[in-house]
């Protein structure tokens, strides 16, 4: 990749990001909604889906989250270099907050309409989502990943504040080995080799703390850091032991999630690994041929729009989609058609958010942040 290509937006990341959101949508609205009576999608659809759709693919939709974490590692690493603490903070706030506020409010409105009342639980979930509270309840279960993402942002932000952005590689190594250690212990516990570990049941807050400390998913962020470092920034390749540890940690996490996702199951592991590995490969190839891809302006605009729509799609699809599917099924619409129509409606909402509502809120919030910074600088002077 030449210097000019290096400075350009990698459009393949937008494509993979959107496809990952599509996988998560399938997991909720094609699999859980018809196979898991304990899921929120099943409850909101009133159990109207008779069975899971395309279970050989839709079961593995959860792997979209692991793909998101790799992409975050790439994007945050690239944006961290040469960024001031305020610029980094401002960019992360404007990326996360406006869309989350809009999506949480839209979801709450649909749930109020669906339930016919404003409940205490609904208000609490909306408040937790609007304030980015790191523990549940949220207005939608999808918000659980935002706390994990923010933890990674904070870790990188601290390095930027201390003028040590070049140490992100060391952060990746710490995340890699911490994640590997956890999943090795977990594997020993689940295999019965250490019965005492297997008998331990951590409370929710302890499990959540492990997620927020990036113990469970840190290796995926590290993979993104390494991809950015090697293929975009052209830095020396990390030590082989770090790469192997990262890969083993990712495979172990995917293996155990594959076993316990959507209830204990014995689905083959290879589709999950293929989806994750294939997504990473597409990103790497996209970086390599980014100049070629960007030679088509129409393709760039389309992929950029899809990339922007991914975040609202991830936050909106489950609850709103399940409510719509439930209503359509009660009206006699066939399962596949109900899924397609609800997905189309959610996509239209996402387009409206990123085209009209989010830019307005971003401009307002950006002005507020800049004004606050100026006031602080004047006070300090």
Query: Does residue 217 contact residue 148 with C-beta atoms inside 8 Å?
Result: yes
Which 3 state secondary structure label does DSSP give 174?
helix
Query: Does residue 217 contact residue 147 with C-beta atoms inside 8 Å?
Result: no
Angstrom CA distances, 356 to 7, 100, 309, stand at 28, 15, 12
Which residues constitute the domain of residue 157? 3-374
Give the model's confidence band at 381: pLDDT under 50 very low, under 70 low, under 90 confident, else very high. confident
Give the model's confidence band at 291: pLDDT under 50 very low, under 70 low, under 90 confident, else very high. very high
- In a domain, residue 113? The reply is yes
Angstrom CA distances, 113 to 34, 69, 254, stand at 23, 33, 37
- In a domain, residue 379? The reply is no
- 9 φψ region: left (φ > 0), alpha (ψ -120 to 50), beta (else): beta
Place of tokens 């129509």: 341
CA–CA dist 365, 368 (Å, integer): 5
Tell how far CA 331 is from the center of its chain.
33
Give the model's confidence band at 72: pLDDT under 50 very low, under 70 low, under 90 confident, else very high. very high
CA–CA dist 279, 291 (Å, integer): 19
CA–CA dist 143, 135 (Å, integer): 9
Helix pair 358-380, 85-115: axis angle to 10 deg: 140
pTM of the predicted protein model: 0.94
Question: Cis omega (within 30 of 0) on the bond before 160?
Answer: no
Mean pLDDT (whole number) for 108-126: 95
Query: Encoding tokens for residue 332?
Result: 């006699």
Quote the pLDDT of residue 359: 97
Query: Does residue 75 contact residue 95 with C-beta atoms inside 8 Å?
Result: no
Query: Does residue 329 contact residue 335 with C-beta atoms inside 8 Å?
Result: yes
Specify the number of domains making up the chain: 1
Tell how far CA 350 is from the center of its chain.
16
Exposure string over 262-295, b if 16+ CB within 10 A, otherwise e: beeeeeeeeebbebbeebbebbeebbeebeebbe
- In a domain, residue 380? The reply is no
CA–CA dist 63, 275 (Å, integer): 7
Quote the pLDDT of residue 1: 41
Range with lowest mean pLDDT among 108-117, 255-264, 268-277, 349-358: 255-264
Quote the pLDDT of residue 200: 61
Could you write out the DSSP letters of every residue in 59-83? GGGGHHHHHHHHHHHHHHHHHHTT-
- In a domain, residue 189? The reply is yes
């Amino acid at each position: 990749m030449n210097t000019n290509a290096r400075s350009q937006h990698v459009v393949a990341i937008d494509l993979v990001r959107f496809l990952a959101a599509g996988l998560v949508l399938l997991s909720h609205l094609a699999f859980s909604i018809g196979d898991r009576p304990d899921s929120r999608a099943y409850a909101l659809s009133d159990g109207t889906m008779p069975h899971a759709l395309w279970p050989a693919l839709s079961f593995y939709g959860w792997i979209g989250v692991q793909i998101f974490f790799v992409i975050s590692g790439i994007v945050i690493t690239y944006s961290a270099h040469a960024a001031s603490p305020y610029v980094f903070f401002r960019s992360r706030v404007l990326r996360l907050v406006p869309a989350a506020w809009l999506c949480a409010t839209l979801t709450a409105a649909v749930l109020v309409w669906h339930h016919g009342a404003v409940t205490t639980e609904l208000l609490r979930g909306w408040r937790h989502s609007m304030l980015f509270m790191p523990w549940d309840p949220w207005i939608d279960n999808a918000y659980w990943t935002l706390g994990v993402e923010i933890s990674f942002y904070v870790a990188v932000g601290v390095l930027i504040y201390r003028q040590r952005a070049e140490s992100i590689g060391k952060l990746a190594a710490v995340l890699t080995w911490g994640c590997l250690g956890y999943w090795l212990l977990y594997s020993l516990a689940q295999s019965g080799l250490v019965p005492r570990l297997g008998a331990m049941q951590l409370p929710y807050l302890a499990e959540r703390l492990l997620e927020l400390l990036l113990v469970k998913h840190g290796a995926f962020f590290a993979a993104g850091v390494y991809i950015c470092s090697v293929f975009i920034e052209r830095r020396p390749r990390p030590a082989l032991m770090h790469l192997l540890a990262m890969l083993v940690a990712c495979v172990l996490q995917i293996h155990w999630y594959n076993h316990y996702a959507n209830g204990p199951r014995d689905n083959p592991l290879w589709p999950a690994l293929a989806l994750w590995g294939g997504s990473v490969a597409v990103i790497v190839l996209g970086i390599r041929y980014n100049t070629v891809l960007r030679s088509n302006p129409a393709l760039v605009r389309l992929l950029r729009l899809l990339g922007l729509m991914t975040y609202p799609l991830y936050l909106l699809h489950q609850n709103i989609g399940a409510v719509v599917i439930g209503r359509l099924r009660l009206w006699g619409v066939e399962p596949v058609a109900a899924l397609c129509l609800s997905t189309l409606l959610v996509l239209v909402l996402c387009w409206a958010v990123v085209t009209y509502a989010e830019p307005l809120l971003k401009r307002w919030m950006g002005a507020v942040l800049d004004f606050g910074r100026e006031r602080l600088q004047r006070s300090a002077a």
